[in-house]
Amino acid sequence: MSKDARKENVPLSPAVLAKYQELVALLAAEEYGAEGPTLATTFAEIEKYGHRVGRMVARDVDARLTAQQGQQLESRQACPSCQSRCEPAPEPKERLLQTVDGDLPLREPRFHCPVCHRDFFPSASRVADRR
């Protein structure tokens, strides 16, 4: 493991760490069975599976967190032009967000200002690539 990869570990509580280790065991068994990979399995094949699973987990964590964040915007929001309080539209806008781990469907709350007659997305002003 490179020094950089060791820095990427996320500190987990003992309870979450136990569930995480259980999930890892389940995922390994799902691909290679209870006995694990055969001796004919190359490390490259094992690593490829690990990366596929890692990207899947990353997308699902991102989807869950962005959905939770979007729920915070489901109340009235100020119009960025005239500051009128606006109600959310009945259905959020769906779009694909491109991430390093693949496309992520994003349900973005949208609002319509009855004064300015404009639609706006409050989250758009906060989305930035901070890398």
* Model confidence, pTM: 0.71
Q: Is the pLDDT of residue 23 over 60?
A: yes
Q: Which two tokens stand for residue 77?
A: 């929001």
Q: In this structure, are residues 86 and 77 in contact, taking their beta carbons and an 8 Å threshold?
A: yes
- Express each pLDDT in 37-60 by its tens digit: 999 999 999 999 999 999 999 999
The per-residue pLDDT for 74 is 64
Q: In this structure, are residues 87 and 109 in contact, taking their beta carbons and an 8 Å threshold?
A: no
Domain boundaries, the chain: 13-125
Contacts of 32 (CB under 8 A, 6+ apart): 38, 41
